[in-house]
Amino acid sequence: MPPGKSPATISDVARLAGVSPGTVSKALNGRGALSHGTIARIQQAAEQLGYQPNALARGLLAGRTFTVGLITTDSFGRFSIPVMQGAEDALGPGRISVFLCDSRDDQIREQHYLRTLLERRVDGIIVTGRRQDPREPIGSDIPVPVVYAMTSSTDPADLSLVPDDAEGGADAVRHLLSTGRTKIGHVTGPRSFLASRLRTQGAEETLAAAGLELATGGPLYGEWTEEWGRQATDALLRAAPDLDAIFCGNDQIARGVADAVREAGRRVPEDIALVGFDNWEVIAAACRPPLTTVDMNLRELGRIAGEELLAAIDGHPSAGIRRLPCTLVLRESSRPRHAART
Amino acid sequence: MPPGKSPATISDVARLAGVSPGTVSKALNGRGALSHGTIARIQQAAEQLGYQPNALARGLLAGRTFTVGLITTDSFGRFSIPVMQGAEDALGPGRISVFLCDSRDDQIREQHYLRTLLERRVDGIIVTGRRQDPREPIGSDIPVPVVYAMTSSTDPADLSLVPDDAEGGADAVRHLLSTGRTKIGHVTGPRSFLASRLRTQGAEETLAAAGLELATGGPLYGEWTEEWGRQATDALLRAAPDLDAIFCGNDQIARGVADAVREAGRRVPEDIALVGFDNWEVIAAACRPPLTTVDMNLRELGRIAGEELLAAIDGHPSAGIRRLPCTLVLRESSRPRHAART
DNA sequence: GCCGTTTAGGCAAGGCTTTTCCAAACCGGA
DNA sequence: TCCGGTTTGGAAAAGCCTTGCCTAAACGGC
């Protein structure tokens, strides 16, 4: 079909096959009772014309569009992309397409997209972001289900899915303890992030349960950057020369720490073990040595968001904040002392 | 409007305002001649019911949906995201929404998405990818315009937009020459990538024009990784001890090179200047020192793709492969010798 | 050969909006 | 009072698909 010509309609197919439009619909959708020959004739006609049913007309009639909207404040960054892919994993098999909107953290854009999505009669909406700190709901009285993923709504009647950062922090520290480390420092991002505070909390509680505390008595809050990781390392090594492990709030910090530790003449992991957070492949794998880190399983989180949205669309909504488990990914940077190199 | 209730229709508004549906349509769209009072009454009724016109019905009638599809093979990675944002920049003001499809480099998925998009009667399609090597067109006889961005179609009748990698490579080398470097090495990714070959070609031609050639007589092809950058540096320093600059095929390689150069006891940029490619912020800015690199202006590329698509939708299609200029981003790693530190 | 039953396929409504064409009402002027 | 010209709003069709209902034909059995 050359551009310019409008696509074939069901009537075109009907005419070519010598039947009525209704019959074509039945043949192509397997409804009603039609003779074998007629079905074949119709299928062939449809094929010949390259007929594809108009989803607009279909949606108009069915009252649903098999489309969901995904609004992200993260500009499709490192966090929202896996969430999106997970959502697609859940929705794709049900033949549901995802409409993507990048609000770029702008209220106006967000409201504009919300309106656009509702005008297009999406069956549901997923809202995702870069941080899990609670945010205002995108709107009130929205006529379709909404699920928040990797961000959370201040309205407890909404369903929000977030990683269990506290448990992730606890996992990291438990792992370090299990490799025999006890003098553990903690360098992380801004205190203003709920995620930093939760990770720190999980780490401190785990240490406390073992009768220990953070090497410097508390976390070093700073930026999510390598630069901060390097700076913090200098401070940490000065304050606690007998340090034997550092738990970092994200992988970038950890990488900075790794470089600074090495350049200070200490070995990772022999002298100081390192654990990061995020499992950002490009950072964690390129780190020297490769970084043990906590994976937030964002794709799985997105998948569950998709499934929950489907359930809500089918009339089984959930509510509240659900914290999904993180997974520790073991690499070289926290290898137990004296363990054989693989 | 509580979930479950279906959204208000134009008839609901008409009933509430005591007029006919057609009149409501005119009032809300500013068509026809209506009395001031009627318009106000209708607007108030629409407001009260939270009425939003059904885009499906609208599209059905208009033959246009004000929607375009974007198919990416890149899983929304580093390359396709800026392209997407640029496309949105161009399309958003025209009230056009973008349907996003991630084919994950899988033929089956791609065809599935293509069908879905055409069923939904998008007005046009943008195809984007991770590398510019030519690929088969996504389909033949597609009834809507298609633009390829950051990838190219083997069909010369299609419009493909790609960065001008050769010119980017030339820019990098010209810059190094302008800072007085003459013994320039080149470490890059796999030879199988058209992008590597073009960047190399641009670099070599520029050197040749100055009566020079690459330090080792040719490029070192390898992987797009830091690890390869480090390895290649060792080889390069051994083969050409008097090296005074290295042009790298991407930022990851450059970062590996930077680390290896420093650890070999040479200074960047004093002894050896470095230029990367891609301007991948998280790598280039975290590099020590921060990396001078070639930016492919992908967002601009996406914007132009959006504009070209609009033009094609309006009946003014273009064709052929268009190479868009890259921009050199100056940072510390190629500071001229003896220049004052800023 | 006739009647009841099954089968195959047509008809038309419904879903929502826009737009064209018309009709009614109203005004002023003759 | 009647007529032409405006103004204002209504009626209906179009755009495409699905589905319930209905009819006509075919078929089987007696």
CATH number at residue A27: 1.10.260.40
Q: Which nucleotide is nearest to B33 (CA to C1')?
A: D8
A115: domain CATH number? 3.40.50.2300
Nearest to B56 among A100, A121, A256 (CB): A121
Q: State the residue for tokens 């790609």.
A: B162
Per-residue pLDDT of A95-131, as tens digits, reads 898 888 888 889 999 999 999 999 999 999 999 998 8
For strand A320-324 and strand A273-277, is the pairing parallel, antiparallel, or unpaired? unpaired
Is B265 an 8 Å CB contact of chain A? Answer: no
Q: What pLDDT was estimated at residue B100? A: 83
For residue A195, how many C-alpha atoms fall within 13 Å in the half-sphere facing its CB?
24
CB contact under 8 A, B97 and A120: yes
Count of the separate structural domains present in chain B: 3
Q: What Rg value do the Cα atoms of chain A yield, rounded? A: 27
- Tell me which residues of chain B, numbers 99 to 138, contact chain A at a CB-CB cutoff of 8 Å: 99-102, 115-116, 118-121
Give the CA-trace dihedral at A192, A195, A196, A202, to 10 degrees.
Answer: 140
B66 strand C contact, CB < 7 Å: no
Tell me: do B146 and B205 sit in the same domain. no
| Token output for B69 | 């599809």
User: Biggest alpha carbon distance in chain A?
Assistant: 88
Instruction: Decide if B62 is inside a domain.
Output: no
Distance CA(B179)–CA(B246), nearest Å, equals 13
In a domain, A62, yes or no: no
In this predicted model, which residue has the larger pLDDT, B307 or A79? B307
pTM of the predicted model as reported, rounded to 2 decimal places: 0.91
Structural domain span for residue B35: 10-53
A97, A83: one domain: yes
Region of B329 (left: φ > 0; alpha: ψ -120 to 50; beta: rest) is beta
Q: How does strand A273-277 pair with strand A292-295?
A: parallel
Clarify whether residues A169 and A291 are in a common domain: yes
Does residue B316 sit within a domain? Answer: yes
Q: Could you identify the residue written with the tokens 């030519």?
A: B134
The answer, for B28 touching chain A at a CB cutoff of 8 Å, is no
* Alpha-carbon gap, residue B36 to B15, rounded angstroms: 18
Supply B78's token pair: 């580093």
Give the separation between CA B144 and CA B118, rounded to whole angstroms: 8
> Are A175 and A288 in a shared domain?
yes
CB atoms within 10 A of CB A48: 12
Write phi, then psi, for B332 (nearest 5 degrees).
-60, -35
Which residues fall within 8 angstroms of residue B336, CB to CB, at 6 or more apart? B179, B180
Alpha carbons A313 and A144: distance in angstroms, whole number: 8
Tell whether A120 and A264 lie within a shared domain: no
Same domain, yes or no: B176 and B292: yes
Interface A–B counts its CB contacts (< 8 A) at 123
Q: Is B103 part of any domain?
A: yes
Whose CA is nearest the C1' atom of nucleotide D9?
Answer: B23
Mean of pLDDT values over A43-58: 93
Residue B329 burial class via C-beta count within 10 angstroms: exposed 0-12, middle 13-18, buried 19 and up: middle
Q: Does residue A14 sit in the same domain as residue A90?
A: no
The spacing between the Cα labelled CA in B74 and the C1' in D4, in angstroms, equals 69
Assess whether B88 and B170 both reside in one domain.
no
Query: How confident is the model over A308-329, as pLDDT tens digits?
Result: 999 999 999 999 999 999 999 9
The predicted pLDDT at position B338 comes to 66
Within B 52-111, residues with CB less than 7 Å from strand D: 57, 60-61, 63
Chain A interface test: which of B100, B230, B252, B287 (most A C-beta within 10 Å)? B100
Sign of CA dihedral B5, B10, B13, B18: negative
DSSP class of residue B210 equals T
Token duo for residue B72 = 């990416």
Tell me whether residue B59 is in a domain. no
Q: Is residue B172 in a domain?
A: yes
Is A266 found in the same domain as A224?
Answer: yes
Contact list in B for residue A84 (CB cut-off 8 A) is 76, 102
Contact B202, B247 (CB under 8 A): no
Report the range of poorest mean pLDDT among A2-16, A254-268, B131-145, B266-280: A2-16
Give the residue-averaged pLDDT of A186-199.
97
User: Which pLDDT belongs to residue A33?
Assistant: 84
- Give Cβ neighbours of residue A339 (< 8 Å, ≥ 6 apart): none
Radius of gyration of the CA atoms of chain B, in A: 27
B88 vs A98: CB contact, 8 Å cut-off?
no
Asked if residue A199 is part of any domain, the answer here is yes
The pLDDT, as a whole number, for residue A307 is 97
CB contact under 8 A, A54 and B121: yes
Residues A290 and A187 in one domain: yes
What distance in Å separates the CA atoms of residue A146 and residue A137, rounded to the nearest whole number? 9
Pull the structure tokens for residue A241. 């020369």
Restricting to A residues 184-213, those with a Cβ less than 8 Å away from any Cβ of B are: none
CB A231 within 8 A of CB A198: no
CB contact under 8 A, A52 and B120: no
A58/chain B closest Cα distance in angstroms: 9
Paired residues of B32 in beta bridges:
none
- For chain A, give the mean pLDDT: 93
Other beta carbons within 10 angstroms of residue B217's beta carbon come to 8
Residue with tokens 């009339």, as numbered in its chain: A315
Which of B50, B75, B288 is nearest residue A85 as measured by Cβ atoms? Answer: B75
B187 in helix, strand or coil? strand
Tell me how far apart the alpha carbons of residues B282 and A129 are, in angstroms, rounded to a whole number.
19
pLDDT at B5: 67
Examine the domain organization and report whether B228 and B311 are in the same domain. no
10-residue averages of pLDDT along chain B (342 residues): 69 92 93 88 93 94 92 83 92 86 89 93 94 92 94 96 98 96 97 96 97 93 96 95 96 97 95 97 94 98 97 94 98 81 50
Out of A56, A142, A282, closest to residue B121 by CB:
A56
Taking alpha carbons only, the member of B292, B321, B289, B326 closest to residue B308 is: B321
Residue B225 to residues B132, B163, B201, Cα–Cα distance (Å):
19, 21, 21
CB of A97 within 7 Å of some strand D atom? no
CB-based contact, B53 to chain A, within 8 Å: yes
Q: Tell me: do A170 and A286 sit in the same domain.
A: yes
Q: Please state, in angstroms and as integers, the Cα–Cα distance from residue A79 to each residue in A13, A72, A132, A136, following that order.
A: 46, 10, 11, 20
In three-state form (DSSP H/G/I as H, E/B as E, the rest C), the secondary structure along B166-215 is HHHHHHHHHHHHHCCCCCEEEEECCCCCHHHHHHHHHHHHHHHHCCCCCC
| Residue A59 forms part of a structural domain | no
